[in-house]
Amino acid sequence: MTQRWAEDVKPGDELPPLVKHASRAQLFLFSAATHNPHRIHYDRDYARLEGHDDILVHGPLQGAWLHQLVQGFAGPRGRVLALSFQNRGRAFPERDLVFRGRVAAVDGDVVTLEVWEEDETGAVLMPGSARVRLPRR
Amino acid sequence: MSLIPPETRALVGQRLGAPVTATLHAEDAARFAYAAGDTNPLYLDEAAARAAGYRTRLVPPAFLVWAFEPPRPLASLRDDGLWRDAGPPLRLGVSRVLYAGEEWEYLAPVHAGDTLTAATRLAALEEKTGSTGPFVLLTTETTYANQAGEVVALVRGKRIAR
C-alpha cells in the first residue's frame, strides 16, 4: 500500500474511485458475517413484496465501502478520524456502485473529504463526509 | 396526532439497556473484511499492521457494531427475517424502520483482540414529514470503550420509522 502524505494534498483533489459490483453470494456472506437474516437481502420474491425490483445491498455494507474508500486514501499510516453518511437510495447487486471523494479542506495534517456513492446512472445513493489525519514526510 | 407517545419521548437522553461487552475476535473481523471485499492489510496482515505502527492488526471500523450481535434462537425471527428484538426498544406510532445512516468518530485505534464495552443512549427523536408522509427520525448514540477504559469510538446511528 502506498502512503499519502499531508504535504501532497490540496483542496479539490479527487480520490481514486472505488468500484464495487456485488454478487448475490457476496451479499449472502455479508448477511452471515453480520448475523443478519433480513430476507430483503437474499429473497427476491420477498423483496418484490416490499416493492423493490430485486434484493437490496445492505446499507451498512455500503457504509463499509465508504470506510474502505477513505482508509484507502489515508494509506497505512493515515488515521480516519470521522466518517458520516446518509442512506438516500436503494443499491442493487450485479451493478456497478462507484464510491468517490474530493478533498474539501486541508488544515495542517487533517484533511476533510466530501465522499459519496453513485449508482450506474450517476445518482447519489449515499452522500457523506470524512476527516483523516495524514502523516508528514 | 404525534407518532411519539409521551412515555417514549421521555426516554430521550436516557440509556437504552445496560452496556454490553464483547471481544473483537481477529477471525470474525477478517471474515467481515473479506465479506465486504476489503482486503486492506491493516486488517489481515500482522506484519503490515506492525509496519504501520500498530501493536497488532486493526479491525475494520464498520465491523464494530456487529461484534455485539447476540446469539438468538430461530423463534426470535419475524416473517420478514428481522430479529424481533433488533433495533432500539421503543414504542412509536409507526413500525417500519429503515436504515438512514451513521456518523462515526474514531478517537483511538481498535485492535483485534480488544474487549469493548458499548453503551447506547437515545440521543434524539424528531417528527418530520416527507414525500411519503410523516415519519420519526430516531438517533441513538453508542460509545465504545476498550479494556483500558479509553473511549475509542462513538457512533450516532440514524433510523427512519414510518
Domains of chain A: 6-22+58-133 (3.10.129.10)
For chain A, say whether B10 makes contact (Cβ under 8 Å): no
Tell me the three cell numbers of residue B147: 479494556
Which one of A19, A24, A28, A29 would you mutate to disrupt binding with B, by most B Cβ within 10 Å of its Cβ?
A: A29
Q: Is A128 in Cβ contact with B35 (below 8 Å)?
A: no
Tens of pLDDT, residue by residue, chain A (137 residues)? 689 999 999 999 999 999 999 999 999 999 999 999 999 999 999 999 999 999 999 999 999 999 999 999 999 999 999 999 999 999 999 999 999 999 999 999 999 999 999 999 999 999 999 999 999 99
Read off the pLDDT band of B66 (50, 70, 90): very high
Read out DSSP for B91-154?
--S---EEEEEEEEEE-S--BTT-EEEEEEEEEEEEEEEETTEEEEEEEEEEEEE-TTS-EEEE
Task: Note the ipTM here.
Answer: 0.96
Contacts with A76 from chain B: Cβ below 8 Å: 41-42, 48, 51-52
Contacts with A87 from chain B: Cβ below 8 Å: 98-101
For chain A, say whether B87 makes contact (Cβ under 8 Å): no
Which CATH code fits B6-161? 3.10.129.10
**pLDDT-above-90 percentage for chain A:** 99
Query: What would the mean pLDDT of B9-37 be, rounded to a whole number?
Result: 96
